Amino acid sequence: MTRVVAQGTFDILHPGHVHYLQDAADMGDELHVIVARSVNVTHKQPPVVPDEQRREMVGALKPVDEAHLGHPEDIFVPIERIEPDIIALGYDQHHDDEQLEAALSARGLDCDICRASPLEAEAADRLLSTGRIIDRIVDERS
């Protein structure tokens, strides 16, 4: 059995998230998703939706076998517990693959790192990012 881990913020769910998680699920037999805690989201605006609610929503998606909240201090703790064969990154996630491989190796974790494919926007108005969704809400509701 091939166990895959995907991870992300998953603030406001959109088709890009579903595509990423389906791609990740297709890489193996079992998909675990680690939902980042708000305190650990430092590379962009903090999430609007609370941690547990985001975990619950991700866990309800068909491709996901189990959704976990990330560790508040050490992002590798859930990965050590899950022991994946593959870590599936989103095609545009900010992680540096080589740095991630080195950090995993330093912790004795042996797994492959793969990138999901991008989801092409079929229409110019298709919203494939949380930031674009928020911007649209602000523009239309202000």
pLDDT digits (tens, 9 = 90+) for 42-83: 888 889 999 999 999 999 999 999 999 999 999 899 999 999
Contact 120, 7 (CB under 8 A): no
9 labeled part of a ligand binding site? yes
pLDDT digits (tens, 9 = 90+) for 88-136: 999 888 788 889 899 999 999 999 999 999 887 666 677 778 888 888 8
Closest-CA residue to 10 (of 140, 138, 133): 133
> What six digits make up the tokens of 136?
């649209």
112 labeled part of a ligand binding site? no
108 labeled part of a ligand binding site? no
**Residue-range domain boundaries for the chain:** 3-141
95 labeled part of a ligand binding site? no
CATH code for the part of the protein at 3-141:
3.40.50.620
2 labeled part of a ligand binding site? no
